[in-house]
């Protein structure tokens, strides 16, 4: 018989770190003020060795795999991030801020799956079935049936899944689900872990593919999706800039594919629409002939995306100059400004600088360096770069421009979108294997150090 004794412990609601006493900062994830007190659920089983079923380990060479069975969701951008569709029996966590569009995305996926004759169950602990119906109505007509369940008791949900055996199940959200045996409230670290564990066992044993929604929460005692990351097969985060209508779906962990793919969507009145050519929309609205505005090419997963970087440099009115970075790394900006100051002899120490990667995307790729430097320089000198020029390249501390990976793809993307000049690392020029037709008339300018930038502006 299992017996549980009520004892409490402190858990980090960000990463699930457990501690016997309250701590101001979590030693696990370094988050401040994230500890909450919860009952510990310890099941003590008095099982003797004799009662344990004897199992033999398998030999690696004798295991046959074949390809995993994958189901395409019908939403290309989602399939891409999943690594080519849903793997049967996998547990996928979709995290993101409240209101970003997680429920909308998954309901749209259900619609597509149903149209491909899949048996789908959508479990919501947040909305009534009528509310789900209202959302579904906004997304267009559902030609085929999907099944809805408004329930927060996970044992009831598990029973329905076990009996009906759907192929895909959505749990929206994990923070609303609870199991009776666990003493703590829904959304607590203990509950989200236990309910996820139950869903994991269900997913693997039936098998059924399960999508779990996890809200990223900053306040309150609700555990965040990071607590679950190690338990699930795939972790996707849905992010975007509050005001902008663009949303990015990013893979953070994937046992069945690569993690650096992103999916791009736009939130419209009738749901999420896939953005098939992100470069085009990222550049929409770029000012013409504006100092400090530069187009760069970043690689997201296997895909090149053109993005506008903006810089505003002006004399400071403070003792300490102000610098901000939106969409990129703040420390990198300070470093690049120091490189300009030291290697080019341009005084940036008494300048404020504001850097913005437009479109709400966050980029930390070194290939952005050359673009940031170019934006800083053009803003400082109040000159503008031609509108049909793009640049990419990593910049080292000596002011040298270093090679980046996938240079061909970057150049091709620029050529495809009609750019006429591409400034790239000299070292990349040598190994570039592109034919004249592929280049479509784009002029390549190789630079070896940042000094040479002044000649091309």
Give Cα separations from 429 to 362, 373, 392, 402, 411 (angstroms): 28, 20, 12, 11, 11
* Among 73, 103, 379, 389, contact with Mg ion (rule: CB under 5 A): 103
* Among 85, 95, 101, 278, contact with ligand TYD (rule: CB under 6 A): 101
Tokens 């640049």 correspond to 391
Inter-residue contact 329 to 355 (CB < 8 Å): no
Q: Which residue number, 104 or 293, has a Cβ lying nearer to ligand TYD?
A: 104
Q: Which residue number, 152 or 326, has a Cβ lying nearer to Mg ion?
A: 152
Instruction: Supply 111's token pair.
Output: 């619609």
Phi, psi of 430 (to 5 degrees): -60, -40
Query: C-beta of 95: minimal distance to ligand TYD in Å?
Result: 10
* Among 100, 109, 212, 377, contact with ligand TYD (rule: CB under 6 A): 100
Nearest to 313 by CA among 341, 285, 343: 341
Judged by beta carbon distances under 5 to 8 A according to partner kind, the member of Mg ion, ligand TYD, none in contact with residue 220 is none
Per CB under 6 A, contacts with ligand TYD among 240-279 are 267, 269-271
Give Cα separations from 370 to 306, 339, 389, 410 (angstroms): 14, 12, 13, 14
Phi, psi of 46 (to 5 degrees): -95, 65
The piece of 89-97, 100-108, 193-201, 286-294 that touches Mg ion (CB under 5 A) is 100-108
Judged by beta carbon distances under 5 to 8 A according to partner kind, the member of Mg ion, ligand TYD, none in contact with residue 188 is none
C-beta nearest to Mg ion: residue: 103
Q: Which residue number, 10 or 246, has a Cβ lying nearer to ligand TYD?
A: 246
For position 108 contacting Mg ion by CB under 5 A, the verdict is no
Query: C-beta of 100: minimal distance to Mg ion in Å?
Result: 9
For position 130 contacting ligand TYD by CB under 6 A, the verdict is no
Which residues lie closer than 8 Å to 82 by C-beta, 6 or more apart?
A: 73, 92, 234, 236, 251, 254, 256, 257
Nearest to 227 by CA among 258, 187, 287: 187
For position 98 contacting ligand TYD by CB under 6 A, the verdict is yes
Question: What is d(CA 168, CA 208) in angstroms, rounded to the nearest whole number?
Answer: 6
Query: C-beta of 193: minimal distance to ligand TYD in Å?
Result: 22
Query: C-beta of 163: minimal distance to ligand TYD in Å?
Result: 27
Helix (H) / strand (E) containing 71: strand 70-71
Query: C-beta of 226: minimal distance to ligand TYD in Å?
Result: 17
Q: How many residues bind to ligand TYD according to rule CB under 6 A?
A: 14
Beta strands in 78-165 (DSSP E): 86-87, 91-96, 120-124, 147-150
Pairing of β 246-254 and β 262-268: antiparallel
Per CB under 6 A, contacts with ligand TYD among 133-152 are 135, 138
The piece of 98-106, 190-198, 261-269, 307-315 that touches Mg ion (CB under 5 A) is 98-106
Tokens 């666990």 correspond to 182
Binding site for ligand TYD (CB under 6 A): 96, 98-104, 135, 138, 267, 269-271
Binding site for Mg ion (CB under 5 A): 103
């Amino acid at each position: 018989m299992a017996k549980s004794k009520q004892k409490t412990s402190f858990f980090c609601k960000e990463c699930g770190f457990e501690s016997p006493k309250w701590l101001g900062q979590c030693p696990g994830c370094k988050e401040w003020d994230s500890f909450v007190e919860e009952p510990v659920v310890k099941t003590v089983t008095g099982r003797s060795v004799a009662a344990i079923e004897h199992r033999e380990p398998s030999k690696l060479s004798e295991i046959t795999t074949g390809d995993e069975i994958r189901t395409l969701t019908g939403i290309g951008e989602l399939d891409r991030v999943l690594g080519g569709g849903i793997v049967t029996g996998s547990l996928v966590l979709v995290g993101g801020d409240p209101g970003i569009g997680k429920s909308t995305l998954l309901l749209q996926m259900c619609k597509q799956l149903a149209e491909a004759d899949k048996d789908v169950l959508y479990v919501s602990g947040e909305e009534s079935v009528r509310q789900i119906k209202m959302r579904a109505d906004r997304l267009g007509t559902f030609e085929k049936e999907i099944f809805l369940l408004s329930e927060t008791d996970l044992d009831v949900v598990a029973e329905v899944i076990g009996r009906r055996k759907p192929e895909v199940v959505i749990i929206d959200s994990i923070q609303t689900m609870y199991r009776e045996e666990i003493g703590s409230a829904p959304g607590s670290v203990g509950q989200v872990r236990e309910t996820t564990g139950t869903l994991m066992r269900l997913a693997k044993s039936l098998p059924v593919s399960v999508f779990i929604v996890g809200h990223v929460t900053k306040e309150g005692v609700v555990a965040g999706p990071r607590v679950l990351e190690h338990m699930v097969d795939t972790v996707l985060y849905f992010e975007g800039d509050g005001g902008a209508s663009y949303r990015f779906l990013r893979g953070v962990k994937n046992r069945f594919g690569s993690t650096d793919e992103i999916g791009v969507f736009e939130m419209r009145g009738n749901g999420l629409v896939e953005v098939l050519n992100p470069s085009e929309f990222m550049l929409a609205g770029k000012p013409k002939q504006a100092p400090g505005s530069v187009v760069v090419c970043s690689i997201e997963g296997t895909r090149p995306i053109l993005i506008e970087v903006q810089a505003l440099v002006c004399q400071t009115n403070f003792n300490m100059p102000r610098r901000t970075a939106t969409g990129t790394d703040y420390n990198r900006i300070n470093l690049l400004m120091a490189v300009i100051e030291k290697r080019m002899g341009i005084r940036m120490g008494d300048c404020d600088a504001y850097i913005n990667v437009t479109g709400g995307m966050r980029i930390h790729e070194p290939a952005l360096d050359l673009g940031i430097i170019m934006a800083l320089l053009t803003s400082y000198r109040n000159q503008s770069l031609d509108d049909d020029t793009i640049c990419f390249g990593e910049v080292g501390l000596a002011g040298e421009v270093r090679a980046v990976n996938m240079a061909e793809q970057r150049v091709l993307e620029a050529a495809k979108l009609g750019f006429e000049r591409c400034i790239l690392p000299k070292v990349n020029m040598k190994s570039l294997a592109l034919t004249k037709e592929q280049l479509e008339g784009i002029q390549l300018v190789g630079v070896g150090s940042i000094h040479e930038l002044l000649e091309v502006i």
